Structure formats: C-alpha cells, structure tokens
Chains A and B, each alone.
Chain A
Amino acid sequence: MASRSIPVIETKRLILRGPEPEDYPNFKSTFTSYRARFMGGPLNDYETWMLYAAEIGHWQIRGYGMWMIHDRVTDKPLGMAGGWKPAKWPEAELAWIIWPDTAGHGYALEATHAVRSHLYRNKGWETAVSYVDPKNLDSIRLAERLGAVRDKDARTVDGHDIVYRHPVPDVLFGSQIEHGIEMEIANYADPLFKPKGMPID
C-alpha cells in the first residue's frame, strides 16, 4: 500500500485541492488548445492525459505539486497553481495556469500567493523561481505582481524561457509586497473597495 496526502489550502475566494479525475476535462480543454502554446502545447488527447496523470504523480515523487484551484462557493475549477519540478528543471518552480473563461479575476495571483506562502512556511522552500516564456506577457505581469524579479544569472530550462525569482521568505513575509498583493486580491474580491490613487486606464 502506498499513499500520499495532498493538503487543502483555503483563501478568501478559493479552495485548492489535489488534481482529481473529475477536474480533467478543463485541463484537457486548455492543453489541447492554442492557450497551451507557452506550456509545451497544444497536445493531443493522449499526451494531455499523460501530462495530467504526471501532474498527480509529481506529488508522489516530490512531495509537492500543482493544486487544482476551485471557487470556494461554486467549487468550479478555475486553473492550477503550485510547485513544479520535473527532471530537467534547474530549480523548483512556482507555476500557474488559469482556464481561459476564468482569466482576469486575480485568481492566479490569489492562488499562487497562497501556495508560495505554504511552500515557504510548511515545505521549507528557501527560494522559488518561475520559468516564463518571454512572449507570455500575462505571466510576466503576474510574476511581477507577485514581487518576482528577472534573474538573468539563473539557469533556464532550455534557453527559450526567462527566469523570475520570487522574494525569499524573509523578504516577503510582512513586507509591503505582501500587503500590496493582499490589497490587490481584496480589490478583486470586493470591487467596491478602491484604494485611493488607483490608476485609471
């Protein structure tokens, strides 16, 4: 008998659980589509299934992995966020993906912020990177909103990606970066709350 538990993480609007078979259709829709172009896709049905199963097996091998992000109220799957380190990755990565119809609500920010804190506090991560395709502007912007900065000295996965390094735990916890992220999430959660001086564009 072998088993591995995947912790559940709850945030203001989200509940993050291990990937389950019933969440597969959303993963498949995204990874068989052009939206997966920055993540090795689009894949065919067989490759997509194999990758999803590998997302689950990653937990068993590394002790961490990618969580499925759900809406706290409706339980609707919204995307994935978590730690990712297959064989070729130089360092453990913080990764995220949001299903197309749920983009633009700050869910990736909220989920990734929560899993980063979890991996720092509970899994002993001392640093984290995100490997981003330089054409993936949404992901670069999210990395920057999370306080990550371009690390030109860090090894890339294959030379086609760029590396963003996240603030280390001591820099992040209790910092202005963390408060800024929490304010941004609060603003997404309750649109009536608008901090003074917010740019209008």
Chain B
Amino acid sequence: MTAVTITIPQLETERLIMRAPGPQDFDVFADFYVSDRAKFVGGPLDREGSWRMLAMEIGHWHMAGFGRWIVTPKAGDKAGATAGIVGLFAPEGWPEPEIGWDLYQGFEGKGYATEAAIAARAYAYDVLCWPTAISLVKPGNDASARVCERLGCTREEDYDHPRHGTVQVWRHPAPDTLVNGGMEAYA
C-alpha cells in the first residue's frame, strides 16, 4: 500500500510544548470558536464551523508545509492542557505568511502567546528561511497588539480582507536583526 503522509514537527520552549493539532483538541478549540472571544479571529462560529476550522489547521500543514501548533504547558496543574494555537499561517488570499496566535480560556496573561510566537518565528526564519514575517491583528484586539509590540513588530498599512475586514499589519524584525537568530527559542 502506497500512502500519503502528513508530518508535523514538535517544538519545545522553556514552558511549553508545541505539537500537532488533533481530534483531542476539538472541545477546547470549539469552546473558543463559539465564544465571543473568537470575534477577533473570524468567529464566533457554530460547532460545525469550528470543526472545519480545526480540520483546516491540520490540512494547512500539508498544503503549505507549515502551520500552527497546539500549545500546551510542560508543567504545573495544567500540564498537557490545550492552551492555545500558535504558529505559521498562510491560506490563499492572505497578504503574506503570518505568525498567528489564539489563547484559550484561562491561559491568557502568562506570556504564552509571546513565548510560542518567538519559537514559531525562529522556526520560520531558521528552518523555512522566511525572509520576513507579519502578524495580523483585528482593530480592538489590544492584547494581541501588545504581543506584537513585545515581539518587536512595527505597524504598517492596514489590509482589507474579504472575510475578516480591515486588519492591522504588524511587521516582525527581519531574521538578521534578531540578536541570536532565535535558535535558542526552540532548542
């Protein structure tokens, strides 16, 4: 039997494991997408729409050769929990390949988005050799804009997306301007 294989690497940061999304993440993923918290990332959706989004996140890896990882704490009472989804995103119609992050209920305010985005950016620059990267933020999503600032991004002209409307474009520092290339972030 010949076969097609989808391969998704695993990354590790100081506090987090970043692994492939899978069926075990659906309940948390859907709880996020049906909630008002998803209003900045294309939601709220119904459970059907959420299911298709999760399937899309997985298929994205096969289509693009990269995608987003489920972020899960390494230690503590929430070790192994589905805490968010962070990584590299570039569906058709996206202005440029993006570094994106969503954190689920109870995992905000710990710096997880920043920590995981640094690892994702290092992967994009060092493994995929991206020359540059952006992050998109819906107006009003101040928490996400602050993550962009912590990552050293600078605002550029807004982008109008047919589905998401006006979004802020934040440009990440180029690979050669990052102090140690970010390699240590996922070593």
Residues of A within 8 A of B (CB): 1-8, 17-18, 20-21, 24, 44-62, 86-88
Chain A residues, CB < 8 A from B162: 44, 46
- Flag if A57 contacts B163 (CB, 8 Å): no
Q: Is there a chain A Cβ closer than 8 Å to B102's Cβ? A: no
Chain B residues, CB < 8 A from A58: 55, 59
- Flag if B4 contacts A2 (CB, 8 Å): no
In the complex, A87 Cα to B50 Cα: how many Å? 8
Chain A residues, CB < 8 A from B7: 1-3
In the complex, A61 Cα to B56 Cα: how many Å? 11
Chain B residues, CB < 8 A from A86: 48, 51-52, 55
Question: Can you name the residue of chain A whose Cβ is closest to the Cβ of B10?
Answer: A1
What per-residue 1/0 map shows which CB atoms of B38-74 lie under 8 Å from chain A?
0000000011101111111111101110000000000
Q: Is there a chain A Cβ closer than 8 Å to B9's Cβ? A: yes
In the complex, A47 Cα to B49 Cα: how many Å? 12
A87/B48 contact (C-beta < 8 A), A50-B56, A53-B91, A57-B56 known: yes
What per-residue 1/0 map shows which CB atoms of B1-30 lie under 8 Å from chain A?
111111111100000000110110010001
Q: Shortest beta-carbon distance, A127 to chain B, in Å?
A: 22
- Flag if B8 contacts A2 (CB, 8 Å): yes
Listed by A's residue number, 29 A-B pairs whose Cβ atoms lie within 8 Å are: A2-B7, A2-B8, A2-B20, A3-B7, A3-B8, A4-B6, A5-B3, A17-B4, A20-B62, A21-B62, A24-B63, A46-B93, A46-B161, A50-B52, A50-B56, A50-B91, A51-B52, A52-B59, A52-B63, A53-B56, A53-B62, A53-B63, A54-B53, A55-B55, A57-B60, A61-B51, A86-B55, A87-B51, A88-B48
- Flag if A46 contacts B163 (CB, 8 Å): yes
Q: Shortest beta-carbon distance, B64 to chain A, in Å?
A: 8
Chain A residues, CB < 8 A from B93: 44-46, 49
Q: Is there a chain A Cβ closer than 8 Å to B77's Cβ? A: no
Of listed B19, B59, B63, residue having the most chain A CB within 10 A: B59
